[in-house]
Chains A and B, each alone.
Chain A
């Protein structure tokens, strides 16, 4: 094994190009487990923790460009106000030690259906920025993640950042597991309200081969809200509409049964999460804090 340690992005692209198959490492919280257990023995490891460009975030019109190497802890502390859904999801990741090292770039790299960083990106229509010596591409997150543990990253490319709009309404993230910390999601649900646009974005985690947007449920609830003028009046969403939303989300789930839970449990549970997260977000909206 050879260890490559670029000091800047340019050098990282060059090393990536000249060492095909080199495994990038950022926080190491996924790849080190594979190395420690000898599940993987790449010829080259490309350390991205010295590339300052990857550890930066900046504002751009209406949102943020967040470097692939910004840790969960920093997202919570530095971007928690502007990206509350992603910050909530970040708080559920592992433990302080894991959040201090783990990154959304690594979550996208691993592309696990249970990745907690992913549903908030889907719910907010985020884009993944990938780049190489050849240039830069921006890919909608739902196209970037192509399957369980698969993504659209090209051979010479690195994930450089993600672009995400600033929250324009309440957001929620909720996750089911056997304890509050250190669990891979049995299933999860992310939700974002966009009152100005009259939209609701939502995404299921860990109950299908990839995170899945719940288009039909979103359109249903958008219809309910606008028909009764609820964006303006901020009145309650009826219990039956909330339940219907949950039922429709259940229909989008395509879970498997595994050690963490049966398909039937997961399906039911995402419906409950959907109903609850919507009612929490709506309560916050009614409270008028956003």
Chain B
């Protein structure tokens, strides 16, 4: 089947989509958007997190056809052109990136958190990121990065 959706602000069409595949597969394998990572395929790790109509979801748990006509934003769509988004900058600055595999999902989940709550407490950060696993276990630095990003947000960036 064909799948049409808006991805990172652009209308995109994927052809030859198998009815049983996930949005994650479409993004990575058909639309050349490998930022969303494929790890567990069961919603446990959060590395495939994207926005669908403004809601944070695991793209591995969205059946391709369910995304028809929806507005998808992936990690590739958060920043303008060649710049980094303040959340991305913060992860770099805080040393919150080790192997980097969980990073895209964490960036999108952090972006979502800060959209909803500009000054999250530690407990709120842990709660919001509970669905994103880092196997390098760099959680302390990730917490630092989120707090750093919240601070930048406060200064007008978004």
Contact = CB atoms under 8 A, between A and B. Distances in A.
Contact of B63 (A3, A96, A97, A180): A3
Given A41-B20, A95-B130, A100-B55, A33 B61 contact: yes
A94 interface: yes
Interface stretch (B7-15, B29-37, B43-51): B43-51
Contacts of B109: 96-97
Contacts of A95: 43, 46, 130-132
A175 to B, nearest CB: 14
Contact of A32 (B49, B62, B127): B62
A49 B64 CA distance: 12
B131 A47 contact: no
B93 interface: no
Given A1-B19, A95-B130, A181-B127, A100 B57 contact: yes
A28 B56 contact: no
Given A3-B19, A182-B44, A96 B128 contact: yes
B36 to A, nearest CB: 12
B61 A5 contact: no
Contacts of A180: 127, 130
A98 B1 CA distance: 27
A36 interface: yes
Contacts of A29: 43, 61
B66 A25 contact: yes
Interface string A148-174: 000000000000000000000000000
Contacts of A1: 18-20
Interface residues of A, number: 28
Contacts, number: 92
B19 A32 contact: no
A78 to B, nearest CB: 14
B131 A3 contact: no
B131 A96 contact: yes
Given A33-B43, A97-B43, A97-B46, A181 B130 contact: yes
A96 B130 contact: yes
A34 to B, nearest CB: 10
A159 B70 CA distance: 25
A47 B63 contact: yes
Contacts of B55: 73, 100-101
B58 A98 contact: yes
Nearest to A41: B20
Nearest to B38: A36
B42 A49 contact: no
B116 to A, nearest CB: 10
Nearest to A99: B131
Contacts of B68: 5
Interface string B48-80: 010000011110111111101000000000000
A35 interface: yes
Nearest to A101: B57
Contacts of A27: 61
Interface string A167-197: 0000000000000111000000000000000
10 contacts: A5-B65, A33-B61, A35-B63, A41-B20, A47-B63, A47-B65, A96-B109, A96-B130, A98-B131, A180-B130
